Structure 1
């Protein structure tokens, strides 16, 4: 059987969309399409009375917009497990929509957890004809072999590293190995921070370089599908879509409002196109690791920058663009708010959040040709870096105790070709508590 085309989706929390209008749905879909995202995975919980109304609007909007698909992701942790008959009814209601995503000719359906209800799915699949790709991440890759007769593929929620380290591909490779010929849907996420007392959630996992690193891993591993976590989960601070204030959960507004993440979509067309155009024998992106040492820093302090090779330029016309993200509060600026690095409820060791989330400015910068990069925090001496290849170059620069606005520029032959300034890094914390969320911006915003 011929393989289906690779696809990229964004996880969309329907519980945060109860007040969204048809026009807002169409705007969000348009923004996702511009980023080369193929569709939304609609997370739905059994207790929400508005679910069917929202799904109807979403499917209709996607059908009208065209070239954008949707599939259902049944949430088994929020509100408890779904009754079998209701799952069947919901799938049947939307599976013939022109906006329904199909894999191997069958309507794809997913879950968020629900391992304890695994044996519900043979009858659900028989009744609906769905292609079942759940996220049963609690099984870990080694547990998947016990459910291979139930699933048609698998989606992992394991998108973040545990502790003060970068995310590896170890779990992804384990999933792909166990699944064999069955499709793997790989997760990609830029950040994680949550502080929701009503849900007893208050921890962070390392974001930092994750958004850049993860897309290089996607391109390397070539999974059948990718799911971005998430489009609009404001409560966990990994949203890449616009902020709809009505969808922000109680208590999350303090760390969400004023912290846009839209610029994380700026390079998605390039990343997604590189992923789709690649294959196992020919990488369309080449990586070169260099190290640039800035004399203004203390000895042995380095900046690592990975340069995306010239083949990337074939994907889109290059236009010099700066994207950046960082916390607006240093890790010593105020009360840590009880936030832990890692989630102890998952048996993870508790770390100081300052150890997990580094005080750095992170930048992914697209250049048309090798260029000089300048970064200045407040009144500190500028840090000089080099983008050694055309394409996307990634850097990070430590705060080093400096505060103030962050000025960034790209120059060639002594002439500035693009510049931008991000908001100030400050010790002024809202309600005295450090905001562990990221501010994300771009020269395209200027």
Structure 2
């Protein structure tokens, strides 16, 4: 779901929340569930439209363990899955070879609909920042091929040519066609023929990657889904000079995961958009396993999504997904711990301010009436991504060089009543818990042994922090409000470093805000108040409602486009 979408999506069913314990170790999910590999009727898994209750996937058993045991358990699970699943349900032995022939890559979903005022330097700053964190490419979410958006995507592709990743490889781009906006085969063809041949296009084994958001219900004027997409996307590229063999991996999340790939020969893989739990469930990888199993049986690829949170508060779109329990970390860990990790991971998102899951800096023009951004920088999650991106790509736990603490929380209780909001509290507000979520990254030589979390006049302390790995903690508010402070202490109780959160917790609110304030505690930010990361003054957020409405109008209307003029 994108900020430029006009329709109101249906959120998941409301359920009551369960408070979690004061300390969590990262939970390793046993992914083997034989029922997850059996065919089942199609359920509405498109984000925001959950399957009927009788089709909802079961949440697997969880085992609370220390992360040091993960390598051993992964080996055990790999063996069990091979014996009990692979030999039984995945007869194509060469499918693993197809997967291993592609390097593991990480992408970030980027909303081009918010770039109407972008300059070339804006593009360069965003591409360079993403590349510095191990991200390999932006998935450019594009709507109608209007003049301004064609020009901005052209600028993005031209800017990317000069950017290198931390691995020394060129930073790349690919299109994610937003089919909640695009409706015609002609628009699909316009996008792919205009940009896929360019030098900054991401190639996988020589094939240009193209993706979508949604589109599984759009046959593009043909008799069936595969024929429509073949003619609109693959055939025009194959007829080009030089001819290009597109690698098509759409995010068709509402399809039956047991047949999504095998029933649609036009696709070369599949992506699922489902990166958040529904209701009170914890995040799991059951759906990932189902989609991936079907992809592997057809010797094709699988892309998974990972996201830190979800909150939106518009007139036609007002709900949350449960984003507690250090969701971003747990989702990364579950994907890394899969016996056969995804071929690609897409971070949702870089700049989707309207759904609150942005990890990049605030830059561009957010949708009108986006009131939940001030003081809510999310670059802590971007910095946190470095560790998991490296682990995912290499298969080995990275070495922690510097003591760092990441923490996040919402600014008011789920029970707070807004005094002047024109909208009610978001649907599903009750599934969240009032707590501060903390993750410690301690080096092997760290002298820190205690974590202290203060919420107003209440203090909670945690010991037994393990070095050389990630520890996660939960500090319930217990009704307290005020400034949030997080500190690391040594064994004698001396403060090693501390800092305040970005915003105080207060239940005296005018409007509802279920966004998360995310902060970093390190040597460079110790004793700091709000303003967690050095910010480039050029990264300005402009609240120009007139331009926001202009974006919406242009995206939702077909305007004449002089492609030769724009793309020359």
TM-score range, shorter chain: 0.7 to 0.9
User: Does the alignment pair 1:266 with 2:341?
Assistant: no
**5+ unaligned residues in a row in structure 1: which ranges?**
279-283, 285-311, 342-350
Give 1:50 deviation, angstroms.
1.6
The higher-RCO structure (CA 8 Å, 6+ apart) is: 2
Give 1:168 deviation, angstroms.
0.7
Q: Per the alignment, do residues 53 and 332 of structure 1 end up closer, same or farther by CA in structure 2, a change over 3 Å counting?
A: same
Segments ≥4 residues shifted beyond 3 Å: 145-148
User: Does the alignment pair 1:367 with 2:465?
Assistant: no
* TM-score after normalising by structure 1: 0.84
Residue of structure 2 in register with 1:308 after alignment? none
Alpha-carbon displacement from aligned partner over 1:311-332 (angstroms, at most 9, x marks no partner): x3xx344201111111011112
How many Å separate the matches in 2 of 1:40 and 1:211?
A: 19
Contact 2:304-2:344 within 8 A present in 1 as well: yes
How many Å separate the matches in 2 of 1:417 and 1:234?
A: 35
User: Does the alignment pair 1:46 with 2:144?
Assistant: yes
Residue of structure 2 in register with 1:291 after alignment? none
1:248 corresponds to which of 355, 359, 366: 366
Alpha-carbon displacement from aligned partner over 1:4-46 (angstroms, at most 9, x marks no partner): 1110000001001111111111111122112111110000011
User: Does the alignment pair 1:155 with 2:271?
Assistant: yes
More strand by share: 1
Give 1:433 deviation, angstroms.
2.4
How many Å separate the matches in 1 of 2:496 and 2:128?
A: 29
Q: How many equivalent residue pairs? A: 393
Residue of structure 2 in register with 1:12 after alignment? 110
User: Does the alignment pair 1:329 with 2:412?
Assistant: yes
How many Å separate the matches in 2 of 1:103 and 1:261?
A: 30
Give 1:166 deviation, angstroms.
1.3
Question: Aligned with 1:65: secondary structure?
Answer: coil
User: Does the alignment pair 1:131 with 2:247?
Assistant: yes
| Aligned residues: CA RMSD | 1.8
How many Å separate the matches in 1 of 2:270 and 2:119?
A: 32
How many Å separate the matches in 2 of 1:158 and 1:48?
A: 29
Residue of structure 2 in register with 1:420 after alignment? 499
Residue of structure 1 in register with 2:208 after alignment? 107
How many Å separate the matches in 1 of 2:314 and 2:147?
A: 22
Residue of structure 1 in register with 2:229 after alignment? 121
* TM-score after normalising by structure 2: 0.66
Q: Per the alignment, do residues 158 and 111 of structure 1 end up closer, same or farther by CA in structure 2, a change over 3 Å counting?
A: same
Contact 2:438-2:474 within 8 A present in 1 as well: yes
Give 1:273 deviation, angstroms.
0.7
Contact 1:320-1:418 within 8 A present in 2 as well: no
Question: Aligned with 2:462: secondary structure?
Answer: strand
Residue of structure 1 in register with 2:563 after alignment? none
Residue of structure 2 in register with 1:235 after alignment? 354
Contact 1:148-1:179 within 8 A present in 2 as well: no
2:489 corresponds to which of 411, 414, 417: 411
User: Does the alignment pair 1:439 with 2:439?
Assistant: no
How many Å separate the matches in 2 of 1:376 and 1:386?
A: 18
How many Å separate the matches in 2 of 1:276 and 1:192?
A: 26
How many Å separate the matches in 2 of 1:101 and 1:73?
A: 12
Correspondences of 1:28-427 after superposition (within 5 Å) = 28-46=126-144, 48-66=146-164, 67-78=170-181, 80-81=182-183, 83-115=184-216, 116-117=218-219, 118=225, 119-123=227-231, 124-128=233-237, 129-145=245-261, 147-180=263-296, 181-197=299-315, 200-208=316-324, 209-221=326-338, 222-244=341-363, 246-252=364-370, 254-278=371-395, 284=396, 312=397, 315-335=398-418, 337-341=423-427, 351=428, 353=429, 355-369=430-444, 371-414=449-492, 415-422=494-501, 423-427=503-507
How many Å separate the matches in 2 of 1:164 and 1:409?
A: 30
Q: Per the alignment, do residues 257 and 37 of structure 1 end up closer, same or farther by CA in structure 2, a change over 3 Å counting?
A: same
How many Å separate the matches in 1 of 2:317 and 2:145?
A: 20
Question: Aligned with 1:331: secondary structure?
Answer: coil
* Bigger Rg over Cα: 2
How many Å separate the matches in 1 of 2:289 and 2:236?
A: 32
1:27 corresponds to which of 125, 141, 147: 125
